Amino acid sequence: MPFAVRMVNYQRSRMLNICDVDLVGRTVRESELTLNISRSYFAERIVEDKEAEDLLKKSSIINMAGKETIALSIKIGVGSSKGVKEIDGIPFLLVFKF
């Protein structure tokens, strides 16, 4: 499965924005919450599973959206299902590793 990713150096940390590629360009809303899954924030490039795993393991701050992305992060021990929230049926997860 391909993933959309964007790497950012943020306050001396490596920040990864990653999502299921089919979510790029969508805006999801629920009550007062809005999640804009923009190309400029999430989709600098497209990667496959192995590279996505490597980026997830090596990043200090991770913004994730999408079922496949979050399933991968939980599978490799980077994310936890306890932290997953949903907006309009789309799961998202933030991870901080310090």
pLDDT at 2: 96
Report how far residue 56's alpha carbon sits from residue 80's, in angstroms, rounded to the nearest whole number: 13
The first and second tokens of residue 27, run together, are 């805006």
As a whole number, the mean pLDDT across the chain is: 95
22 three-class SS: helix
Per-residue pLDDT at 49: 96
Mean pLDDT confidence for 53-72: 97
How confident is the model over 18-36, as pLDDT tens digits? 999 999 999 999 998 888 9
Domains for the chain: give ranges and CATH numbers. Answer: 3-96 (3.30.1860.10)
pTM score: 0.93
